[in-house]
């Protein structure tokens, strides 16, 4: 983890080279200096008004630090020097010493300069505590101590250096605490909140200055305490008090002043301290909040540091989530700007990101060998970059490099390719390459044999390293040899060398290089075997690039298509070249260019390969139709669905010889789903049962089908059979038996906890499909649909002992009943009453079981309300609301139950029942519409619920007034509506506006007033 959040760069001047700005300005400084030196040897004769401040700045800018000190030492001998400037001489000396430390050529000279600077700052503060620049001196002294402490923590550390650094940090913290106390007092005396910037601009400016200095001191105090704690080997154990004090400073800064740059930027340091204290969740939140800040330059260092901190957290947890760490760190590392490349914070990020790559390299189970090799290469590159920059990361960098077998002290560690003797000429290079190629083939065979025989890891590792070294050497030799070709060199030999080089580059994963070499070879030698080999190497390389970088690269997709077309043209009868066009088709599909892929497929001659591509194309059309449907583009979605059915049907009908694989069965399953979407359940069943490719018919021939496939298959079968039960006059008993069998198969595939979860998800998805059929069916078919599904679901409830299945049955019955009730009807009758009866029986049975779901009383109460059992419904709602009073769905249902009950009660009870709907029950468990509207008013997520509650509130007040014969209540109901429109002119949208308007007109008519309703919103 990074040790220091900031390098105190504000101490040192920003320079862009060893110059003042131009030759003229350097000459001017030289002349001034010569005048000063000459004056030292004689009596000073200077004009009144000595420009001392400007002169000192010029000397420092020219890096004449010794002369600047001498000039300041003799300043009292010159007339005309501003008396105010004279009092600040120690402060000017301190600044001069600090700047000289920045260019010191030795550590000793730098430390001496810093020590002198501290002496001068302390002298100034002692002799001039009330000077206007005293706060500046205090801040400079604190920063100087921070910087000196940080310097002591670089390199190898011992107890002495740690103690010296700690003393500097603790002294710095004390300095900044003094500044905080002083500025806090000044800000309190100023009564900053009462200052009007327009009327008192000077006071406002002073307030802003004090506030800025206060925030800076608060940040620096926290940093000093944290750095002091980090001088211990185990900060959390040895210095918890210091860390807690630092955390207090950073928490105040980030929470109270997060609208200032320093406050928002403090989330990073806060996260660091929390991480040191072992507060992982809090640290994670602080780092994340830092990264959520604006992309302002002032936040760059903090964001880089926060990213490093996040990576450290991800790698230190139980899971060691290196994938998430790489995903977080890689974009930040690649975005480092030139001026950030050498900062300490950048090296900390590189080291942490390297740890993530090394963790990926170590995970043999979840990563392929080439992925692990690439991860190791990335880690090595990052560590070698960090090694070049000295800092607090040195020790961890060296250790990580040693762990991967790199001597970090060796200059050879940065060499990227192995060296090889320069060949005498091209012929010698080709001869060496042929020998290397043969040898590496033998080594490759030995390596495969070792892996099959489960040889030792050391043997495999050594042999792999030899292979890599040999290939790299071959690459170097061939590149050098190809640079030596001349007019007399045989073209066949040149192409042979290019083929060797392209192959070695591919094996060593230099994919871009191998693509260029292979595609060039194909064009240099069209129609030849060696040219085809080069083209295939290039295609393989391009595929590897897309696999590594994603399919978003239009360039590489285009390159594959262009090269594939070229190979088919130049090698028309070669099956390997034909496979290249298959890659072009695959790339066009991945790119989403379905029309281009279809044109290429249609142009192919009839063959099993073409049929397979047609099935694949059909699946892409299916996916595109789903995408368009999700965007509510129904017409184009249906067009894509039709095209998908056409391609799938054609591709499936071309299957020959009964050779059906998993891909073909999946294509048939999708075709069955399409037929269901087209409301053709008979056709869907025919596809599932097709003798040539039907997945239900041929399932026994499929080896080890996945659980996901089986779930999807039996669910589709169940939907199709259910569709037949309602769409045709077939044998209902036979269809029901098949539906029950499909249910049994679904339950058999649910193995273990995960299987049970999938079963629940499957049933719920099926319930949604069934409800959609009922809601979208015409009235005549809807009745038939409900009758059939009532029988169907009742049978399932009778044969199943599984709680999840019973819950699904109850939910489905309830959903069907609710959707089938005509608008305005509040009590079920006929078919819907039968559905509710089964639903209530199912919920009551489930409620008695141990560990019953909390939602069962809610659904039972809702079913009872729809059935007209209002007393029973309220009992269920009270039960659940005692445990969960804020369950808004249950509160709404309870209020609605009171309201609907009031409508059917005898006249003498109506008014009280409507009052209960408005104000809730006697014990307060049920809120009523009034409190529901209050509780939902301020949340945008509950906007629709709020307006619904206000509508019911007004309606209940009106009906209560009618029942009680009290016009005041009716006027109160009108007031609810007119008061609401004053706050929300749109009344929740056009539909709600119409409802409120209609209700208000009804109330106005009952009161004998003109029925004008609401004014339409503008």
Task: List pLDDT tens digits, range 326-335.
Answer: 998 898 888 8
Of the ranges 434-438, 457-461, 842-846, 906-910, which one carries the lowest mean pLDDT score?
457-461
What angle do helix axes 89-102 and 134-152 make, rounded to 10 degrees?
A: 30
**On the CB side of 170, how many CA atoms lie within 13 Å of its CA?**
12
- Residues 578/600, Cβ–Cβ less than 8 Å: no
Q: In sequence order, which residues have a C-beta less than 8 Å from that of residue 208 and are 6 or more positions away? A: none
Q: From CA 419, how far away is CA 476, in angstroms rounded?
A: 7
pLDDT at 65: 81
Q: In sequence order, which residues have a C-beta less than 8 Å from that of residue 416 and are 6 or more positions away? A: none
Candidates 690, 755, 760; CA nearest to 720 is 690
Q: In sequence order, which residues have a C-beta less than 8 Å from that of residue 235 and are 6 or more positions away? A: 229, 242, 243, 276
- Mind giving me the DSSP string for 600-615? HHHTSPSSHHHHHHHH
Q: From CA 705, how far away is CA 694, in angstroms rounded?
A: 14
Q: From CA 264, how far away is CA 303, in angstroms rounded?
A: 11
Q: From CA 761, how far away is CA 757, in angstroms rounded?
A: 6
43 phi and psi angles, rounded to 5 deg? -65, 135
Q: Which pair of tokens denotes residue 92?
A: 């000017």
939: left (phi over 0), alpha (psi -120 to 50) or beta: beta
Higher pLDDT, 464 or 273: 273
User: What's the pLDDT tens digit per position in 654-669?
Assistant: 887 655 677 888 888 9
User: What's the pLDDT tens digit per position in 298-309?
Assistant: 888 888 999 999
Candidates 224, 290, 231, 237; CA nearest to 262 is 290
User: What's the pLDDT tens digit per position in 758-778?
Assistant: 666 666 566 566 566 666 666
Task: Quote helix, strand, coil % in the chain, to nearest 5.
Answer: 75, 0, 25
Q: Which pair of tokens denotes residue 958?
A: 């009106």
800 phi and psi angles, rounded to 5 deg? -100, 140
Q: Which pair of tokens denotes residue 333?
A: 């590392």
Percent of residues, the chain, with pLDDT higher than 70: 83
Q: From CA 11, how far away is CA 502, in angstroms rounded?
A: 54
Of the ranges 272-276, 458-462, 544-548, 576-580, which one carries the lowest mean pLDDT score?
576-580
517: left (phi over 0), alpha (psi -120 to 50) or beta: alpha
389: left (phi over 0), alpha (psi -120 to 50) or beta: beta
Cα–Cα–Cα angle for 426, 429, 433, nearest 5°? 140
Residue 139 has pLDDT above 90, yes or no: no
pLDDT at 765: 62
Q: Which pair of tokens denotes residue 865?
A: 């309300």
Global pTM reads 0.39
- Mind giving me the DSSP string for 82-95? -HHHHTTHHHHHHH
Q: From CA 861, how far away is CA 890, in angstroms rounded?
A: 9
192 three-state secondary structure = helix
Cα–Cα–Cα angle for 588, 594, 599, nearest 5°? 85
What angle do helix axes 803-820 and 779-799 make, rounded to 10 degrees?
A: 160
Candidates 650, 567, 581, 566; CA nearest to 616 is 650
Q: From CA 655, how far away is CA 612, in angstroms rounded?
A: 9
- Residues 242/265, Cβ–Cβ less than 8 Å: no
Report the mean per-residue pLDDT for the chain.
79
pLDDT at 283: 87
Percent of residues, the chain, with pLDDT higher than 90: 11
Q: From CA 387, how far away is CA 379, in angstroms rounded?
A: 12
pLDDT at 189: 75
Q: In sequence order, which residues have a C-beta less than 8 Å from that of residue 969 and are 6 or more positions away? A: 957, 958, 960, 961
Q: From CA 206, how far away is CA 188, in angstroms rounded?
A: 13
Cα–Cα–Cα angle for 418, 419, 423, nearest 5°? 135
pLDDT at 659: 54
Q: From CA 613, how far away is CA 594, in angstroms rounded?
A: 12
721: left (phi over 0), alpha (psi -120 to 50) or beta: alpha
User: What's the pLDDT tens digit per position in 209-244?
Assistant: 777 788 888 888 888 888 888 888 888 888 888 888
Average the pLDDT over 284-291 and give the result.
Answer: 89
506 three-state secondary structure = helix
Residue 738 has pLDDT above 50, yes or no: yes
């Amino acid at each position: 983890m990074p040790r220091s959040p900031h390098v105190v760069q504000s101490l040192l001047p920003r320079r862009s080279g060893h110059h003042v700005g131009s030759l003229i300005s350097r000459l001017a400084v030289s002349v001034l200096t010569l005048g000063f030196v000459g004056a030292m040897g004689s009596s000073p004769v200077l004009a009144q008004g000595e420009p001392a401040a400007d002169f000192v700045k010029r000397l420092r800018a020219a890096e004449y630090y010794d002369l600047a000190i001498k000039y300041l030492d003799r300043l009292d001998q010159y007339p005309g020097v501003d008396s105010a400037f004279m009092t600040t001489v120690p402060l000017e000396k301190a600044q001069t010493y600090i700047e000289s430390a920045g260019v010191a050529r030795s550590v000793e000279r730098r430390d001496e300069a810093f020590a002198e600077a501290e002496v001068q700052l302390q002298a100034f503060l002692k002799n001039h505590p009330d000077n206007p620049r005293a706060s500046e001196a205090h801040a400079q002294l604190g920063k100087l101590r921070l910087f000196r402490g940080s310097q002591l923590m670089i390199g190898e550390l011992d107890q002495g250096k740690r103690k010296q650094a700690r003393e500097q940090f603790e002294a710095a913290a004390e300095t900044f605490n003094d500044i905080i106390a002083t500025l806090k007092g000044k800000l309190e005396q100023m009564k900053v909140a009462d200052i009007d910037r327009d009327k008192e601009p000077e006071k406002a400016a002073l307030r802003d200055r004090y506030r800025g200095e206060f925030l800076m001191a608060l940040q620096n105090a926290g940093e000093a305490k944290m750095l002091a704690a980090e001088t211990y080997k185990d900060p959390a154990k040895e210095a918890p008090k210091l860390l807690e004090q630092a955390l207090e400073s950073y928490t105040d800064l980030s929470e109270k002043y997060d609208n200032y740059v320093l406050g928002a930027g403090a989330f990073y340091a806060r996260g660091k301290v929390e991480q040191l204290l072992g507060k992982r969740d809090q640290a994670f939140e602080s780092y994340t909040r830092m990264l959520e800040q604006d992309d302002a330059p002032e936040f760059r260092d903090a964001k880089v540091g926060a990213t490093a901190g996040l990576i450290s957290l991800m790698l230190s947890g139980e899971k060691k989530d290196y994938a998430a760490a790489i995903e977080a760190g890689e974009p930040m590392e690649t975005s480092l700007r030139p001026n950030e490349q050498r900062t300490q914070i950048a090296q900390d990020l590189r080291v942490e990101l390297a740890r993530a790559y090394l963790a990926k390299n170590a995970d043999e189970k979840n990563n392929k060998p080439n992925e692990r090799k690439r991860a190791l290469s990335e880690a090595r590159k990052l560590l070698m970059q960090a090694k070049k920059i000295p800092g607090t990361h040195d020790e961890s960098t060296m250790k990580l490099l040693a762990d991967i077998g790199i001597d970090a002290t060796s200059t050879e560690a940065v060499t990227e390719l192995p060296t090889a003797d320069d060949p005498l000429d091209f012929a010698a290079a080709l001869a060496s390459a042929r020998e290397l190629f043969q040898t590496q083939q033998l080594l490759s065979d030995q390596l495969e044999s070792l892996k099959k025989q489960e040889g030792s890891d050391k043997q495999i590792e050594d042999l792999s390293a030899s292979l890599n070294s040999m290939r790299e050497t071959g690459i170097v030799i061939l590149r050098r040899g190809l640079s030596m070709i001349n007019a007399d060199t045989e073209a066949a030999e040149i192409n042979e060398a290019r083929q060797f080089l392209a192959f070695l580059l591919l094996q060593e994963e230099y994919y871009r290089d191998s693509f260029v070499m292979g595609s060039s070879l194909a064009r240099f030698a069209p129609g030849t075997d060696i040219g085809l080999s080069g083209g295939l190497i290039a295609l393989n390389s391009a595929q590897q690039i897309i696999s590594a970088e994603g399919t978003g690269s239009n360039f590489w997709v285009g390159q594959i298509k262009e090269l594939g077309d070229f190979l088919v043209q130049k090698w028309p009868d070669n099956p390997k070249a034909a496979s290249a066009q298959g890659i072009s088709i695959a790339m066009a599909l991945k790119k989403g260019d379905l029309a281009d892929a279809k044109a290429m497929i249609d142009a192919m001659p009839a063959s099993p390969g073409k049929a397979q591509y047609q099935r694949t194309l059909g699946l892409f059309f299916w996916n595109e139709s789903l995408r368009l449907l999700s965007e509510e583009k129904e017409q184009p979605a249906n067009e894509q669905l039709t095209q998908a059915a056409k391609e799938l049907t054609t591709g499936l009908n071309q299957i020959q010889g009964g050779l059906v694989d998993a891909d073909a069965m999946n294509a048939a399953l999708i075709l069955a789903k399409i037929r269901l979407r087209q409301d053709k359940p008979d056709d869907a069943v025919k596809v599932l049962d097709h003798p040539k490719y039907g997945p239900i018919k041929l399932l026994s021939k499929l080896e080890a089908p996945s659980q996901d496939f089986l779930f999807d298959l039996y669910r589709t079968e169940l939907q199709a059979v259910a569709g037949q039960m309602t769409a045709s006059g077939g044998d209902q008993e036979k269809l029901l038996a098949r539906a029950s069998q499909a249910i049994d198969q679904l339950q058999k595939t649910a193995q273990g906890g995960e299987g049970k979860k999938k079963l629940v998800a499957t049933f719920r998805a099926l319930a949604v499909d069934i409800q959609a059929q009922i809601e979208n069916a015409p009235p005549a078919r809807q009745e038939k649909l409900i009758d059939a599904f009532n029988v169907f679901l009742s049978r399932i409830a009778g044969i199943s002992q599984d709680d999840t299945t019973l819950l699904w049955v109850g939910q489905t019955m309830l959903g069907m009943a609710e959707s089938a009730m005509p608008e305005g009807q509040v009590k079920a009758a006929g078919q819907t009453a039968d559905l509710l009866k089964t639903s209530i029986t199912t919920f009551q049975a489930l409620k008695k079981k141990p560990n019953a779901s909390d939602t069962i009383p809610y659904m039972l109460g809702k079913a009872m309300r729809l059935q007209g059992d209002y007393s029973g419904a309220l009992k269920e709602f009270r039960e659940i609301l005692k445990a969960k009073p804020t369950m808004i769905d249950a509160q709404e249902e309870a209020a609605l139950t009171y309201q609907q009950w009031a409508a059917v009660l005898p006249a003498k009870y109506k008014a009280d029942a409507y009052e209960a709907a408005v104000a809730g029950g006697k014990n307060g468990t049920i809120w009523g519409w009034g409190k529901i509207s209050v509780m939902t008013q301020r949340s945008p997520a509950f906007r629709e619920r709020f307006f619904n509650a206000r509508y019911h509130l007004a309606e209940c007040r009106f009906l209560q007034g009618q029942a009680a014969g009290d016009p005041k209540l009716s006027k109160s109901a009108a007031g609810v509506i007119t008061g609401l429109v004053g706050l929300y002119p749109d009344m929740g949208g056009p539909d709600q506006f119409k409802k409120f308007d209609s209700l208000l007109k009804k109330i106005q008519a009952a009161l004998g007033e003109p029925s004008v309703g609401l004014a339409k919103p503008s």
